[in-house]
A and B are shown apart, each in its own frame.
Chain A
Amino acid sequence: MTNMNLEIITPDKKVFGGEVTAVTLPGTEGQFQVLNNHAPLVSTLGRGEVVVDSGTTKQTYTIDGGVVEVLKNKVLVLAEAIL
């Protein structure tokens, strides 16, 4: 399975960086999931859970708002804070 690259950054530190197969994000308009080869996207995020699925393991981060950019299999989450 091909993977995409995910980074979760807050102003305090880099929370996550690595290869994942899917990531679920708490968009302001509702939760959505980004899979491999997703179209370029910029979206604002609300308070909620980011579920990082790296194929075998699932990790959950609770973020307090932010933005996400998806471009060429690179997913960049700028979170204001990790709760």
Chain B
Amino acid sequence: MTDETTGASAPDQPIRRKTPPATPMVQAWLDGEETRDHLATADEQETAELWTRINSEAAQLRKRNTPIHVQSRILNSLTDLPAVPDPPAETGFKLTTATAVIGGIVILAIGAILGFMLVR
């Protein structure tokens, strides 16, 4: 996975914090593991207020759907493509009834020849 400290769009400068980072309780609340009632301190409540606003904005983004013309555009672009190729054929040996019968006959023939030669 990507190194989390060296992303391509890493900040130009270190991020300076005005307040302490979200407490484990705030993180648990944001993860849905705790209710907001469990945020005891004023700092936690202030942080929760900020995250309520951020989550509300994120929820707006969540409502966005693919523009209708995009699905049509994708489907139209497929018509210019050749039919999708079949998956690569298996290259391993497959034992069928015919190959088993032929193989058996060959082994019997070789055995018969060797036996005939030994007897002579």
Q: Are A and B interaction partners?
A: no
List residues of B whose CB falls within 8 A of some A CB. Answer: none
